[in-house]
Amino acid sequence: MTVSSESKNSLTQLAPLEAVLFDIDGTLCDSDPLHYYAFREMLKEIGFNGGVPITEEFFIETVAGKHNDDIALALFPGDLERGLKFVDDKEDMFRKLAKEQVKPLNGLDKVREWIESRGLKRAAVTNAPRANAELMISLLGLSDFFHAVIIGGECEHAKPHPDPYLKGLEALKASKDHSFVFEDSVSGIKAGVAAGMPVVGLATRNPEHLLMEAKPAFLIKDYADPKLWEALEELDKAGTKKV
C-alpha cells in the first residue's frame, strides 16, 4: 500500500524537520499485553467484576493510554484512594514483568539511526509514571537517546490534553511546525494533534478504526512499515530543497 499524497504532505510540510516525539508504551515497545495481564490478574484477585477476568476490549476502552488517576476513578468510582493504591501496586507488578519481557518494537533501531544521523531533537512523552518510563527507556537502551522525558502526571493535564506534548516541545526548544509524533493510543494521538503536530499512529494493539477517529496523519504497523519510510524519504527530499 502506498502512502496517500495527504499523508506525505502532512510530514513534508514540516521540512526542515527539527524534532520527533515518542510515546513509550505500545510505541517504543509492545508493552500493553504486560499491562493487561497485570490488571486482569490483580482485579480478578480482589473479586472485581464478580471475579470474572476483564476482557481485552475492556482494557482498551478503560485503561490503554490513559493516566493512572483516570484509570483509578474508572475502576473504583466511589473510592479514589483505593483506586490509586491499586494502580500503584499494579505498576510494581508491571515493572517486574517488564524487566523480563520488554523488547523494542520492530524497526525501532532503524528509525533511531535515521533520527540520530540527522541530528534531530527527541523526547519521550508518556502518561506512564516516571518510574515506569525510566525503566522502559533503560531496558530498551534508549537512556542516551532522549533529550527529555515528559510525564503526563507532572503536567497540568495528562493526555489526551496537549499539555505533555507542548511541554515536550518547550523542553526541546522545537517548533510544532517542524516536529511530529509517534503514538499508539487514541488519547495519545488526540494529545499530539491538539498540540498542533502531525501524528504517525502505530497500530500495535489498538483497533485501527478507533485510532483513525483520533485523526493521525496515517497509521503504520511498526517502524519497518514501508509507508513510514516512503513518507520520511519525501520529508528528506523536501528538507534538502529548502536548505
Indicate the helix (H) or strand (E) that contains 20: strand 19-22
Which of 23, 30, 163, 225 is labelled catalytic?
23
Q: What is the pLDDT of residue 64?
A: 84
Q: How confident is the model at residue 5 (pLDDT cuts 50, 70, 90)?
A: very low
Indicate the helix (H) or strand (E) that contains 124: strand 121-126
Q: What is the pLDDT of residue 75?
A: 94
| Nearest by Cα to 98 from 39, 150, 60, 139 | 139
Which of 25, 30, 32, 184 is labelled catalytic?
25
Q: Examine the pLDDT at 139 and tell me if it is beyond 60.
A: yes
pLDDT in tens, 58-77: 998 898 878 889 999 999 99
Q: How confident is the model at residue 241 (pLDDT cuts 50, 70, 90)?
A: low
Q: How confident is the model at residue 221 (pLDDT cuts 50, 70, 90)?
A: very high
Indicate the helix (H) or strand (E) that contains 121: strand 121-126
Give the fold, CATH level 3, of 14-30+103-241.
Answer: Rossmann fold (3.40.50)
Q: Mean of the pLDDT values across residues 221-243?
A: 88
Q: What is the pLDDT of residue 239?
A: 82
Q: Say what the pTM is.
A: 0.89
Indicate the helix (H) or strand (E) that contains 132: helix 130-139
Q: Examine the pLDDT at 8 and tell me if it is beyond 60.
A: no
Does the active-site annotation cover 236?
A: no
Q: Mean of the pLDDT values across residues 123-149?
A: 96
Q: Mean of the pLDDT values across residues 186-207?
A: 96
pLDDT in tens, 85-113: 999 999 999 999 999 999 999 999 999 99
Does the active-site annotation cover 25?
A: yes
CA-based torsion, 205, 218, 188, 171: positive or negative: positive
Q: What is the pLDDT of residue 9?
A: 56
**Mean pLDDT over the full length of the chain:** 92
Question: Residue 168 contacts by C-beta under 8 Å, 6 or more apart in sequence?
Answer: 21, 123, 125, 148, 150
DSSP string over 72-102:
HHHH-TT-HHHHHHHHHHHHHHHHHHHHHH-
Residue with more model confidence, 7 or 148: 148
